[in-house]
């Protein structure tokens, strides 16, 4: 079995985001990059399948050199090889799907695992688009996955319940929190990863269906105010503020 895992590098949630001078992209200065958390579930599932059934796991990222850290981490966790499809600038999920489809179409992958959405961009679109471009089955927002002989059975979260989806491999599956508990890299894994190389290929030329025209941070929140006096006075001041300023009553 051959498994491809799509991993996206995203800013660490603790990074203080700044909008770049062009007003439509992130300023990469001082950003700490991490693997998108949903992609960690996808990678963990691939490694578990490798351990359980035997599989070759290929980690892939589309982006600049900065994405290499995500791939090194995947190698340390147990991916057999890693590919960076290099291209500068931003594309929408459709562009990423085209780039990955162009790479994967003749490689014989039985399973392509993605996060259900990339943290920050939150489009939740790349996996379904990739499945369509490759003409294969898909199951999205998956919390449980079982593979049979050339088939898959997946449990997906839906509003107020769950749904079981079955289909034939090859398939694209997008991972949701709860699918598994991602492991940490072991020292042995980190040392073994140092010996593995990352294949670097140019991303296929693609078209974007949509482009970001503006990016803005939420408005600054006004500073908090400390109410003075004893508890009764504070309660009175709070009531007054809710009435006069917040106009809650
Ligand atoms: C040529 C090119 C260069 C790019 N360079 C960069 C870059 O340097 N830095 C950057 O942050 N983005 C880069 N992008 C990616 C792009 O900006 C976003 O990843 C894209 O808009 C998807 O957004 P999303 O995470 O909201 O998608 P979603 O649809 O929410 O993503 C769902 C899943 O798709 C997979 N996925 C999404 N994006 C990628 C990716 N780039 N690589 C591998 N898997 C992915 C992940 O498994 C993710 O969980 C590039 C795109 C192209 C086409």
Question: Given a cut of 70, is residue 165 above it in pLDDT?
Answer: yes
Could you read off the pLDDT of 110-121 as tens digits, one per residue? 999 999 999 988
Does residue 189 fall inside a structural domain?
yes
Domain that holds residue 62: 2-202
| pTM confidence score | 0.90
Ligand 1 atom 1, closest CA:
87
Does residue 208 fall inside a structural domain?
no
Q: Given the structure tokens 């006004």, which residue do they identify?
A: 222
More confident site: 217 or 199: 199
Question: Given a cut of 70, is residue 187 above it in pLDDT?
Answer: yes
Report whether 58 contacts 172 (CB < 8 A).
no
Same domain assignment for residues 182 and 242: no
Question: Given a cut of 80, is residue 89 above it in pLDDT?
Answer: no
Provide the pLDDT for residue 54.
94
Task: Determine the Cα–Cα distance for residues 117 and 141; give it in Å rounded to an integer.
Answer: 9
Kindly give the number of the ligand 1 atom that is closest to the alpha carbon of 125: 29
Q: What is the mean pLDDT of residues 238-243?
A: 92
Could you read off the pLDDT of 4-36 as tens digits, one per residue? 999 999 999 888 889 999 998 889 888 899 999
For the chain, give the mean pLDDT.
Answer: 93
Provide the pLDDT for residue 90.
67
Kindly give the number of the ligand 1 atom that is closest to the alpha carbon of 85: 1
Provide the pLDDT for residue 162.
93
Same domain assignment for residues 124 and 229: no
Q: Is 93 in the pocket of ligand 1 (CB under 6 A)?
A: yes
Least trusted range by pLDDT, from 91-105, 192-206, 214-228: 214-228
Same domain assignment for residues 194 and 229: no
Q: Is 78 in the pocket of ligand 1 (CB under 6 A)?
A: no
Same domain assignment for residues 52 and 153: yes
Q: Is 167 in the pocket of ligand 1 (CB under 6 A)?
A: no
CB-based contacts of 100, cutoff 8 Å, min separation 6: 4, 6, 60, 62, 85, 112, 126, 130
Same domain assignment for residues 193 and 242: no
Does residue 212 fall inside a structural domain?
no
Total number of domains constituting the chain: 2
Task: Determine the Cα–Cα distance for residues 87 and 208; give it in Å rounded to an integer.
Answer: 13
Does residue 143 fall inside a structural domain?
yes
Q: What is the mean pLDDT of residues 59-84?
A: 96
Provide the pLDDT for residue 121.
86
Same domain assignment for residues 123 and 239: no
Ligand 1 centre to CA of 247 (Å) is 43
Question: Given a cut of 70, is residue 160 above it in pLDDT?
Answer: yes
Ligand 1 atom 32, closest CA:
117
CATH of the domain at 19: 3.40.50.620
Task: Determine the Cα–Cα distance for residues 147 and 136; give it in Å rounded to an integer.
Answer: 16
Ligand 1 atom 38, closest CA:
8
Question: Given a cut of 80, is residue 71 above it in pLDDT?
Answer: yes
Same domain assignment for residues 134 and 232: no
Burial of 224 (0-12, 13-18, 19+ CB in 10 A): exposed
Is residue 224 very low, low, confident or very high in pLDDT (cuts 50, 70, 90)?
confident
C-beta neighbour count of 149 within 10 angstroms: 5
Q: What is the mean pLDDT of residues 47-58?
A: 96
Same domain assignment for residues 77 and 106: yes
Q: Is 63 in the pocket of ligand 1 (CB under 6 A)?
A: yes
Provide the pLDDT for residue 210.
85
């Amino acid at each position: 079995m051959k498994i491809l895992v799509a991993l996206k590098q995203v800013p660490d949630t603790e990074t203080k985001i700044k909008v770049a001078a062009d007003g439509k992209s992130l300023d990469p200065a001082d950003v700490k990059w991490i693997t998108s958390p949903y992609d960690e579930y996808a990678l963990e599932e691939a490694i578990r399948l490798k351990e359980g059934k035997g599989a070759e796991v290929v980690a892939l990222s589309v982006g600049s050199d900065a994405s290499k850290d995500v791939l090194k981490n995947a190698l340390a966790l147990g991916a057999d090889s890693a590919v960076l499809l290099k291209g500068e600038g931003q594309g929408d999920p459709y562009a990423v799907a085209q780039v990955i489809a162009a790479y994967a179409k003749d490689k014989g992958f039985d399973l392509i695992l993605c996060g259900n959405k990339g943290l920050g961009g939150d489009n939740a679109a790349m996996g379904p688009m990739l499945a369509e471009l490759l003409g294969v089955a898909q199951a999205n927002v998956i919390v449980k996955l079982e593979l049979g002989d050339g088939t898959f059975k997946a449990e997906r979260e839906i509003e107020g319940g769950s749904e079981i989806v079955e289909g034939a491999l090859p398939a694209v599956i997008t991972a949701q929190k709860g699918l598994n508990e991602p492991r940490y890299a072991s020292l042995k894994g980190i040392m073994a990863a140092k010996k593995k190389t990352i294949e670097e290929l140019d991303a296929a030329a693609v078209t974007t269906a949509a482009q970001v025209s503006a990016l803005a941070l939420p408005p600054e929140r006004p500073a908090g105010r400390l109410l003075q006096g004893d508890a009764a006075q504070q309660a009175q001041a709070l009531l007054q503020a809710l009435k006069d300023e917040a106009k809650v009553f």
